[in-house]
Structure 1
Amino acid sequence: MEEQIARVVVLGVISWTTGFLLVRRMFPKRSFDFCNRLVSTVHAAVAVTLASLSVKDWNCPMCPLASTSSPPQMKALAASLSYLIYDLVCCLFDKKFNPDNFFHHLVSIVGIGAGLSYQKCGSEMVAALWITELSSPFLHIRELLKELGYRDTDLNLAADILFAVIFTVARMVGGPYLTYVTLSANNPFIIKAMAAGLQLVSAFWFYKIARMVKYKLTKRTMTTTASSKQVDPQTHETHTN
């Protein structure tokens, strides 16, 4: 099993890198970040799909707890581990180095690597993968729209709100429950530490996302109010449409 998982990781890194290079060739005028986000969007879809397929019983998707990881769970985690390694390297080549993203990936690599090494906690880790990647496509779509010229449009605002809603439900409803069951079960310390750390990071991002949505909604309201009023150039009186 170890050799098979290692092959999945190596082939995954090669595949994600090849995919990125192909996207760069297809869109030579787009930024490094734009092309990388396209690959990241594909990974999010693949990760959620593989995580969903690895669930044994949807009546209790996180069962059994603290158990030996199944082959589908190991492969789902290995596929995401390969992506995280690829994206960690991409962070070093991007013009704008994001330390938060870099260290988040680094910690995630350690956590998933530990889970694959122990070959335990498959249910909890796959659930964490599903929860964290569920909102990722919408995170990337909102940034892709900005580069495509849709910044400050209704479409971009809709993407922002959709991302915020899915993130909130997944990370701030499902996340705390997953953290609780992970800490309660007989899991290795590093897995428990990763679960607690992930929830703390999610709470911090939730705060930032809430502020972002509040700012954008306030800005949109002010813009709409201002555009609905017109000033008569002769009388200097304000007329509302």
Structure 2
Amino acid sequence: MPSWSCRLVTLLHGLLVTCLSGYTALLEGPWPLTHAGSPNTPLQIHVLCLTLGYFIFDLGWCLYFKTEGCLMLLHHMLSICGMMVVLGLGKSATEVNAVVFVSEITNPLLQTRWFLREMGCYHTVLGEVVDFLFVFLFLVLRIGGGAFIMQAMVTSPEPIWLLKAGGLAMYIVSLGFMAKICCFVRRKMWKKYNSWASLRSMNAPVKTNGHLTAL
């Protein structure tokens, strides 16, 4: 099925790019919070080229099959433009690579959630763990960590104004995704509460002729 093939490509890309960008940002350096606007390293260039190729593929998929809304399409176009500018300038891959890391680390969990749903295994303990990790990592890394990266990028004199504006736009898009995730969490918690309340009412004793009788 086309959807399974696309999801497998997305899953493999997410795993590979998360590992590579995480290694570059956290171990190899330079540190994005203090060296924004630094010249691109060979590994950073490879990571961005790989990610750029995937985003062009996924944007084409979304446009052809009309599977995503305006927010996701805007996210893809901003990502593609930002990576092309960084590769063309030969600098600022440090902070963009860090943004790739905090953004893509939740992607494998999102794809795993889709596969679990397709296989009928979503409403299990594993599905609950995947949802929790996705929401937790999104809020901590993409929103929390992304805020520090954006601050470092905006306050540094090295990155050009176009990248700073693009970075702010990307963070606003992430806030839009966060709003959707919060709505998802609220709906899920409400369903769980209703299920718990219904189960409790079924197991509760009822009065019959002045006496309590278990159902």
State the TM-score, normalizing by the size of structure 2: 0.86
CA deviation profile, 1:181-208 (whole Å, cap 9, x unmatched): 0011121122101110111111121122
Is residue 59–residue 73 contact of structure 2 (8 Å, CA) maintained in 1?
Answer: yes
CA distance in 2, matches of 1:225, 1:157: 20
Percent identity, please.
26
SS of the residue 2:202 aligns to: strand
Is residue 78–residue 170 contact of structure 2 (8 Å, CA) maintained in 1?
Answer: no
Match of 1:53 in 2: 23
Give the number of aligned pairs.
Answer: 210
> What is the CA-CA distance between 1:49 and the residue it aligns to?
1.5
CA deviation profile, 1:201-231 (whole Å, cap 9, x unmatched): 1112112212211220221122123124437
1:80-159 map, 5 Å: 80-94=51-65, 96-159=67-130
Evaluate the alpha carbon distance shift between residue 138 and residue 45 of structure 1 in structure 2; reply closer, same or farther with a 3 A threshold: same
CA distance in 1, matches of 2:85, 2:22: 21
Match of 1:33 in 2: 3
CA distance in 2, matches of 1:35, 1:153: 24
| 1:164 corresponds to 2:135 | yes
CA distance in 2, matches of 1:95, 1:112: 24
SS of the residue 1:149 aligns to: coil
| 1:197 corresponds to 2:169 | yes
The alignment yields a C-alpha RMSD, in angstroms, of: 2.7
Q: Which amino acid aligns with 2:171?
A: Q
Evaluate the alpha carbon distance shift between residue 223 and residue 139 of structure 1 in structure 2; reply closer, same or farther with a 3 A threshold: same
Evaluate the alpha carbon distance shift between residue 238 and residue 42 of structure 1 in structure 2; reply closer, same or farther with a 3 A threshold: farther
Q: Which amino acid aligns with 2:4?
A: F
Evaluate the alpha carbon distance shift between residue 239 and residue 191 of structure 1 in structure 2; reply closer, same or farther with a 3 A threshold: farther
Gaps of 5+ in 2: none
Q: Which moved more, 1:148-157 or 1:51-60?
A: 51-60
Q: Which amino acid aligns with 2:6?
A: N
Q: Which amino acid aligns with 2:73?
A: F
Is residue 99–residue 149 contact of structure 2 (8 Å, CA) maintained in 1?
Answer: yes
> What is the CA-CA distance between 1:61 and the residue it aligns to?
2.8
CA deviation profile, 1:114-151 (whole Å, cap 9, x unmatched): 00000110211111111111111112222222122134
Q: Using CA pairs below 8 Å that are at least 6 residues apart, which structure has the higher relative contact order?
A: 2
CA deviation profile, 1:12-56 (whole Å, cap 9, x unmatched): xxxxxxxxxxxxxxxx4xxx3333222111111111122133347
Evaluate the alpha carbon distance shift between residue 221 and residue 183 of structure 1 in structure 2; reply closer, same or farther with a 3 A threshold: same
Match of 1:184 in 2: 155
